[in-house]
Structure 1
């Protein structure tokens, strides 16, 4: 940027003003912080989860300049799940992926807390969640990671089925078993008769 021609004293004043602006910007960035209550989340499909960020607040400041953008950064694309522009929630900017599944706690926002309840989780909800917060006294962002695993199959394991024997083979086996049993009984009976006769003839 070109500065107009000034005398030595005026140049020093302008340099000091520029330096103060730079220092003030650095201080705002350093003192304004966005944190996450948890850096990593693990959840199961169809379950619910609460994502929460906190940011530095100043009681004397208004929310007219408050801008919040929370989005999912997935490998394929970015999806907005929560957006506040100049203190007003913008529901139209929410991605269809999260439509009807994100609720926020309104009462905690003035405390510097962004609490989002995401219901009916899907595996495609996995990824890096970034929340940018901008106020008239600073800007910063916080991030966390969510991994949604597929729902476990809780159904009972199927028992292995045994093919029933053909009807004809089953009946044949039954007949053979009956014949063998009858033959064994007949042999025992004949053996007893033979022993009885042998003992009588010896007498």
Structure 2
């Protein structure tokens, strides 16, 4: 793999200066899940047809090569594209006619990082342009969430948000006395179930001889 890269560089240096492939940016820095546009430019001739245009844009990572974009005799060959880039690369066909290769890479992944080489071969020259892409991991979503909450608290907005959510979710404001009386009733019923009534407190018919007063809500 290293030999191939060296060969491309040597061939590029040997090509006549009449045909050149340049990059608009030698190094790109992006974040995971974002989009980025890689761009190369090459020398064009008005009297030449794009039918003789051949382009290979590839990602080099160690000993692995992944085809990002392939054009053979002016026609894009999607079958050559590596499956890791499937559905994530969009090319600007209008820009291609002007001598610009513009490739938008969507939903970036950390394994998209590496060296990108774009080989352009025509009937009047051959050249290679290269650039480096570094994709960093996305920031922790929980960290961003709590940062937003802290900001809202500082501005005194969180209480309003919570209150509005409660009103919408419950649909009404409940009288606090309901919860108090309900809790007393439940506690009384629970105690009655767990306590054994002494025989001397039972009536002749077996029922409890004491009167139980129920709390009214």
TM-score between the two structures when normalised by the length of structure 1? 0.63
Q: Is this contact kept in 2: 1:47–1:121, CA < 8 A?
A: yes
- Confirm or deny that 1:138 pairs with 2:125: yes
1:127 aligns with 2:114: yes
Count of aligned pairs: 133
Compute the displacement of 1:64 (Å).
Answer: 1.8
Is the contact between residue 71 and residue 129 of structure 1 (CA under 8 Å) also seen in structure 2? yes
TM-score if structure 2 supplies the norm length? 0.59
Q: 1:75 aligns with which of 62, 72, 94?
A: 62
Residue 44 of structure 1 contacts residue 121 of structure 1 at CA under 8 Å; is this kept in 2? Answer: yes
Note closer, same or farther for the CA distance 1:28–1:124 as it changes in structure 2 (3 Å cut): closer
Q: Deviations over 1:153-177 (max 9, x none)?
A: 131469xxxxxxxxxxxxxxxxxxx
1:17-96 map, 5 Å? 29-96=16-83
- The higher radius of gyration belongs to 1
For residues 76 and 121 of structure 1, what CA distance do their matches in structure 2 show? 21
Give the 5 Å matches for 1:111-190: 111-156=98-143
Structure 2: stretches of 5+ with no match in the other structure: 1-12, 148-217
Q: Which runs of 4+ in 1 moved over 4 A?
A: none
